[in-house]
Amino acid sequence: MEVTGHGPLVACPGCGALVPDVAGPTHAYIGASPGCWAAWGEVQARSFASPAIAAVQPLAVDVYAVQHPGLAERRAIQSVWVHLVSLCLILEAGRSPVDGIRAKQLLLAGARIFDRLEPPAARYSTTVLDIAAISDPEAVPEAVRRWARVTWEAWRPHHDAIRARAAALALG
C-alpha cells in the first residue's frame, strides 16, 4: 500500500500516525485504523526478506500492540500488559525477543488478572510509518529498537507496575 499517496489522511486512534483514510481490515482488538494496519502489514511482510529484520520482528510486534491499546475490553487490556512486560524485559533487562515471547506465554498461562493501564496520549513521535519508510533493510533493526524505546518511555507512569510483573516471572 502507498502510505504517502493522495487522498485524505486521518490520525490513527492508536499511534496518531497520519494515514490514508481507507476502508480495509483491522484487528479484532488492536486499536489501529485500516491505513495504519495496512502499513503494519507491509512492515511484517518485509521481515521475510531479511534475517536481521526477522530477528527484531517480535520486538516490533510488542511495540505495535502497545501503541494500539484499543478499547477497555478484556483482550485488549491483557494484550497491552503482556506486550509491555515483553518490552520491559527486552529494553531494560537485556532479554532476547525469544524470552519476551516466553514471558507472554507465561503471563497468559497464569490467572490472567490484569488491571487496565491508562494509555498515554495517542500520539507517538515514532510510528509504524517511520519503519515502513526505511528503504535500507540494514537500518530497520536499529529503527525498531528506537521505536521501542520511544514507546516504552511513553508508558512511564506504569513502569514500576510492569517491572514488578516482569520480575515475578520464572524466566530462568
Which span (33-41, 102-110, 112-120, 132-140) binds Zn ion, by CB under 5 A? Answer: 33-41
If the CB atoms of residues 17 and 90 are measured against Zn ion, the closer one turns out to be 17
Q: Is 36 a binder of Zn ion (CB under 5 A)?
A: yes
Measured distance CA(12)–CA(68) in Å, rounded? 9
Stretch that binds Zn ion, among 13-21, 104-112, 116-124, 149-157 (CB under 5 A): 13-21
Q: What is the CA radius of gyration of the chain?
A: 16
53 interacts with Zn ion by CB under 5 A: no
Query: Contacting Zn ion (CB under 5 A), which of 3, 14, 76, 97?
Result: 14
DSSP assignments along 14-38, one per residue: TT--EEE-------SSS---HHHHH
For Zn ion, the closer of residues 26 and 50 by Cβ is 26
Distance in angstroms (rounded) separating the CA atoms of residues 104 and 165? 11
Closer to Zn ion at the Cβ: 44 or 50? 44
Find the part of the chain contacting Zn ion (CB under 5 A) among 6-14, 86-94, 113-121, 142-150: 6-14
Separation CA 84–CA 33 (nearest Å) = 21
CB neighbours of 90 closer than 8 A, spacing ≥ 6? 59, 62, 96, 97, 99, 100, 148
- 154 counts as binding Zn ion under rule CB under 5 A: no
- Residues of the shown chain interacting with Zn ion in the complex, contacts defined by CB under 5 A: 12, 14-15, 17, 32, 36
